[in-house]
Structure 1
Amino acid sequence: MRADARKNYSHLLAVARDVVTEHGVDASMRDIARRADVGLATLLRHFPTREALFEALLCRNMEALTQKADELETSKPADEALVSWFRDGVAFVHSYRGVVDLMASAHADPNSALYASCATVHAVGARLLLRAQAEGTARADMDGDDLFALMSALGWLAGQPSLAPRADHLFHVIASAILTNPSSNDVKKATR
């Protein structure tokens, strides 16, 4: 990609990130183009579909979650690594209103532009869960699908104005339910 095209692409993504943060996944492509001071055709040349735009927006976050899992796996005990990564996953899901629906549907649709990224995040979460299960620190009756669903649910709950004040408490309740012998100190330590 030429330097000017790369600059335009980065500018479009930055504006799209702002608009989506404000309006959620229902943000208008026209509004993004207008705020980026480009025509809709220019935006669509870079991102031919809404899904392609969201794939580009979310890809960095999902790559960061994947990298975080790799780092935690080698630097923290299994239970701490799992809960720490889970907290980051919940924060990511909560970062854009409506992203839960996109990720949930993309996870089950191999034709989705988001499928590969969602599958990777799902796989690294499942890997952390399996490691904790192998060490006896996480429930044996859970799998990666359960972890992904809980992460999505907590991200959605945190976005509900009436429940937002309880988000940390709800996180601790769910994290404690994932671990086999949790103490509130273990969960708090793992989320730092």
Structure 2
Amino acid sequence: MTEHQRADARRNYSRILTVAEEEVAAHGANASLEQIARTAGVGSATVRRHFPTRRALLEAVAQTRIEALRVLAIELADGQDSRDALLVWLREVVAYCVTARGLAAVLAYDGDESESIYENSCASTLEQAAGPLLARASRDGAVAAGVTVADLITLAVGIALATEHHPDAAAQADRLFELTVAGLSPQE
């Protein structure tokens, strides 16, 4: 491969990713790969060469948001109240999932073995980032025994997916998040 071809491939990757971010924001996780290719001015094969699966493309689109959540977890890890730190982080995960159409689908544990060679790097990054927050909250007795980061991410994804078509998805997601945190029992 010549230097020009490599530069061209980098430009194609960047252009595809920029268009994909816009399409996913507008149409969610089911954004048309063919439309992305057309708008980016490349063929479908070029999109598939850079992103062999829809999940790979969605993960690339979500990387900036996932990195922000990872950094937030690190910043919150030394906070004074371990429960508050965990809940602040989890509320941000829910908010990101609701506002970044397609992010919930990237984080969902779908068990699709056909894509198992492509690790779910977004969920993995979040699990590693939130691990210390959850461990500290568990040590402090601030969360129920046996709760895992995967459980928390699954709750966030569920809330985002359940509110996706609500007229005020962010407010409804926040309400469901509060209900999840408080539980169904009346407060005494």
Query: TM-score by structure 2 length?
Result: 0.77
Distance of 1:118 and 1:107 partners within structure 2 = 13
SS in 1 for 2:13: helix
RMSD value, Cα: 2.9
Distance 2:80 2:97 in 1: 23
CA distance in 1, matches of 2:159, 2:118: 24
TM-score normalised by L of structure 1: 0.76
Counterpart in the other structure of 1:176: 182
Mind listing any 5+ residue stretches in structure 2 that lack a counterpart?
A: none
Where does residue 56 of structure 2 map in the other structure? 52
Q: Does 1:123 align with 2:131?
A: no
1:145 matched to 2:150: yes
SS in 1 for 2:41: coil
Residues 82, 136 of structure 2: 8 Å contact kept: yes
- Percent of pairs identical after alignment? 36
Q: What CA deviation, in whole Å up to 9, does each residue of 1:7-45 have, x standing for no partner?
A: 432222111011011111111111001112223233233
1:72, distance to aligned residue in structure 2 (A): 1.0
In the alignment of these two chains, the number of paired residues is 179
**1:74-93 map, 5 Å:** 74-93=78-97
Deviations 1:157-187 (A, max 9, x none): 331316734322222222334xxxx99xxxx
Whole-Å separation in 1 of the counterparts to 2:112 and 2:9 = 33
Q: Corresponding residue for 1:10?
A: 14
